[in-house]
Structure 1
Amino acid sequence: MSSMWVRFNAESTKLWRVNDTRGATYTLDSQTLHNVSSSASLGVIKPSSDTARAWHAFDTVNLLWWNRDNPASICWSSHETDGNHCTELNIQWTDTSTDGPYYDIGSHTIHLSAADPDSEHTVLHESGHFFMNRLFNGFPSYTICTSQYIYNRAGSGTCAWVEGFADAVAAYLLGDYRYVWPNGTEMSFAYSSGWSTGDQVEGNVTGSLLDLWRNVDGGNWNRTITLLTSTAPSTFSEYFNTDRPKAGPPLSTGWDALSYLRSHSIQY
């Protein structure tokens, strides 16, 4: 063989990809070997400093796909059973981007600013919005969360549910109980002095979901994932009070579950 090289694409089986603002998927090429006649080493292959964050974002989304709990296909939820026709998650990023972080529902695109991939919580939070979309086979009606929306202050029930679920996706997959921003600043989801009370607070919803999944529902989110493919709650109250009893067998709404909610100031 006169020459040979290997090209890696930041795309996984039409399930998710990272692209620039022109829609071009990031690629990474090995060195080119010439006059190859036997086994040869390609050496160390790593992205350049100006594209490394694209690959970090790409790799981070593996955590969500590995834990999507869909036995029906390789797709994101059991609504799609044909592995050749899965809805693809697009992640748009450049090393100079100031556009993000947010998820665009219509195009299934996450927009990330330049430093956002430094926070795996941010990447998985925005991916969590896409995941909710795939579980519901659509997206619940919700109040748009403004830039002034604060995780520990009361907003709306729908906004707290949508954002709290996305927070919980990130923390659950990373095995922690916090959110870490790209600059390293972090917050805990444990209810604290100065927080607003109730289920219209994003942080209260997040902490409650994490406690339910880890301490009440068998140590994982699998039964909630199954439940959310057949229901589409628009608030945490609807999820807990109306939909959890519909699971087969029912997910607990009794004293054990309620005690965890109370620790996050949610009283039902």
Structure 2
Amino acid sequence: MCPQPRTAHLPAAASATGDVGAGRRAAARRRAGVVPALAVLTAVVALASCSSSGGTSGDRAVGSAPADTGAPPTTGGPGRICLTGTLAYDHHDAEAGPDKVKQLTTSVARGTTWQLWGRTSASGAEQLLATGRTDQHDGRFEACSDQTGPLPELHLTFRSSNGNLWKAVDPTTRAEYSFDTPHLTDIAASRDLGTVKAPAEQQGAWKIVDTLGDLYRKANAANTTGSPCWTDHQSAGGCDELTFTWSPTATKGGFFDPESRDVVLAAEDPDSRHLILHEAGHWLHFELSDHWFPDAPGCENHTFEVASTGGCAWTEAFADAVAAYTLGDHRYVYSDGQSVDLHNDPTTTWDKGDTVQGRIGGSLLDLWAADGPDGGSWNKDLQLMARYHAADFREYFTVYRPKAGLPTTGPSRQIIGGHTIDY
């Protein structure tokens, strides 16, 4: 093994900018033909091999790169050389509570892109030999070359993306975060790299990518077309990609920008998985509505317990419910570890009715519950939202639920009534 340190490819630090107040989603309140900003992928800078015959990163022959089909990587066979291990990252965990949020914890990085690079001859250029993603459950990877050994040089590059479905990028350069494993030389047999950790300065990007996989799997389960896309509105090969911008020095964030179609996060925002998923929930709402977003006036200083407007309460409550449903709880957690319990009833000291964010969020979670009236999941509701685009919760419940074959009487009406919503 070459005694080289892992090298991180960290895009130039920059502060994310954007208006977090009034009008941040106003441009999406009509059906928009906005073309997403083209994300420029980072150039993957290779480490120089410590083999005496090795070259520099400029020798890479990228034209022969195999396609990333999205399928799990092929396991090693006789004569094949593989690099195996588990990708992980350290991070702050707001879900652990305000007393523990500043403590580092370690999680596996699931569904993250890897690229296997190497040289097949001592004088040859570095080539992309294989690509794939870490396991969606345990973060394991098995990256195998079709070339038989020995190989003069071999290493992995990890990227802050999942194929072309979601990614985390620097807000200024639009580059994915990436890093290399140590370059190995004269490899005659497969190697287990053990646990490979992402660089500390990139931990927010890896937590974003890891967390979004949980949402994707639940959203895609409601896709009736069988495509790998987030919603029914695209087909394989043309899926919309969810892009998060983040940097460790970003000072503004915590919003979805429908003009760029980016979710923008500040430096500490990824400490909370609920915050990541809440903002992704706005993007999902936009996607389900075929690139349209309800009018949401009065949302400048929205809160869970105070009445705002029908559109504001509906859009924010849906995003709250997306986060809680994905994580299997009934709360919202801020990046500092403080949380709000979305369980509520008529005795809860909140404003009442369908203009209150927390009342709607609690209703949605109970409708989607395993023992709830919507079939034990949110699948039918997401299918409804892909077909009918409600301006507020009232329209969703009284107009479109009947059209989608979802009940509005009996337990359904009791649920919303228990959250002080009466139709």
Fold match by TM threshold 0.5: yes
Greater fraction strand: 2
In the alignment, the residues of structure 2 paired with residue 108 and residue 165 of structure 1 have an alpha-carbon distance, to the nearest angstrom, of: 18
Aligned-pair distance for 1:145?
A: 4.8
Q: Could you tell me which residue of structure 2 aligns to residue 14 of structure 1? A: 164
Determine helix, strand or coil for the equivalent of 1:5: strand
In the alignment, the residues of structure 1 paired with residue 412 and residue 300 of structure 2 have an alpha-carbon distance, to the nearest angstrom, of: 32
Whether the aligned pair in 2 keeps the contact of 1:6 and 1:29 (CA below 8 Å) is: yes
Between 1:62-71 and 1:178-187, the stretch displaced more is 62-71
One-letter identity of the residue aligned with 1:9 = R
Whether the aligned pair in 1 keeps the contact of 2:155 and 2:182 (CA below 8 Å) is: yes
Summarize deviations over 1:39-89 as a string: whole Å, max 9, x none. Answer: 2233421111111121011100001110112142111111112x2111111
Q: Could you tell me which residue of structure 2 aligns to residue 245 of structure 1? A: 402
Is 2:217 aligned against 1:63? no
In the alignment, the residues of structure 2 paired with residue 144 and residue 76 of structure 1 have an alpha-carbon distance, to the nearest angstrom, of: 27
Whether the aligned pair in 2 keeps the contact of 1:88 and 1:108 (CA below 8 Å) is: no
Q: Could you tell me which residue of structure 1 aligns to residue 155 of structure 2? A: 5
Q: Could you tell me which residue of structure 2 aligns to residue 74 of structure 1? A: 228
Whether the aligned pair in 2 keeps the contact of 1:89 and 1:130 (CA below 8 Å) is: yes
Summarize deviations over 1:177-204 as a string: whole Å, max 9, x none. Answer: 1001111101111225331100001111
Structure 2, unmatched stretches of 5+, are 1-150
Between 1:221-230 and 1:39-48, the stretch displaced more is 39-48
Whether the aligned pair in 2 keeps the contact of 1:31 and 1:42 (CA below 8 Å) is: no
Whether the aligned pair in 1 keeps the contact of 2:316 and 2:357 (CA below 8 Å) is: yes
- Provide the identity percentage: 36
Larger relative contact order, structure 1 or 2 (CA cutoff 8 Å, min sep 6): 2
One-letter identity of the residue aligned with 1:78 = D
Determine helix, strand or coil for the equivalent of 1:44: strand
Determine helix, strand or coil for the equivalent of 1:42: strand
Q: Could you tell me which residue of structure 1 aligns to residue 94 of structure 2? A: none
Structure 1, unmatched stretches of 5+, are none
Q: Could you tell me which residue of structure 2 aligns to residue 90 of structure 1? A: 243
In the alignment, the residues of structure 2 paired with residue 44 and residue 76 of structure 1 have an alpha-carbon distance, to the nearest angstrom, of: 30
Sort the Cα spacing of 1:62 and 1:236 in 2 relative to 1 into closer, same or farther, 3 A: same
Aligned residues: 265
Determine helix, strand or coil for the equivalent of 1:208: helix
Q: Could you tell me which residue of structure 1 aligns to residue 317 of structure 2? A: 164
Q: Could you tell me which residue of structure 2 aligns to residue 135 of structure 1? A: 288
In the alignment, the residues of structure 2 paired with residue 70 and residue 193 of structure 1 have an alpha-carbon distance, to the nearest angstrom, of: 36
RMSD: 1.3
One-letter identity of the residue aligned with 2:230 = W
Aligned-pair distance for 1:142?
A: 1.3
Aligned-pair distance for 1:254?
A: 0.3
In the alignment, the residues of structure 1 paired with residue 365 and residue 337 of structure 2 have an alpha-carbon distance, to the nearest angstrom, of: 22
Q: Could you tell me which residue of structure 1 aligns to residue 389 of structure 2? A: 232
Q: Could you tell me which residue of structure 2 aligns to residue 202 of structure 1? A: 357
In the alignment, the residues of structure 1 paired with residue 299 and residue 388 of structure 2 have an alpha-carbon distance, to the nearest angstrom, of: 26
In the alignment, the residues of structure 2 paired with residue 146 and residue 245 of structure 1 have an alpha-carbon distance, to the nearest angstrom, of: 29
In the alignment, the residues of structure 2 paired with residue 127 and residue 48 of structure 1 have an alpha-carbon distance, to the nearest angstrom, of: 24
Between 1:135-144 and 1:255-264, the stretch displaced more is 135-144
In the alignment, the residues of structure 2 paired with residue 123 and residue 42 of structure 1 have an alpha-carbon distance, to the nearest angstrom, of: 30
One-letter identity of the residue aligned with 1:209 = L
Q: Could you tell me which residue of structure 2 aligns to residue 223 of structure 1? A: 380
In the alignment, the residues of structure 2 paired with residue 126 and residue 29 of structure 1 have an alpha-carbon distance, to the nearest angstrom, of: 30
Sort the Cα spacing of 1:33 and 1:145 in 2 relative to 1 into closer, same or farther, 3 A: farther
Q: Could you tell me which residue of structure 2 aligns to residue 116 of structure 1? A: 269
Q: Could you tell me which residue of structure 2 aligns to residue 25 of structure 1? A: 176
In the alignment, the residues of structure 2 paired with residue 71 and residue 245 of structure 1 have an alpha-carbon distance, to the nearest angstrom, of: 19
Greater fraction helix: 1
In the alignment, the residues of structure 1 paired with residue 240 and residue 298 of structure 2 have an alpha-carbon distance, to the nearest angstrom, of: 25
In the alignment, the residues of structure 2 paired with residue 185 and residue 84 of structure 1 have an alpha-carbon distance, to the nearest angstrom, of: 41
Q: Could you tell me which residue of structure 2 aligns to residue 263 of structure 1? A: 418
One-letter identity of the residue aligned with 2:414 = S
In the alignment, the residues of structure 1 paired with residue 416 and residue 304 of structure 2 have an alpha-carbon distance, to the nearest angstrom, of: 17
Aligned-pair distance for 1:140?
A: 2.7
Aligned-pair distance for 1:144?
A: 4.1
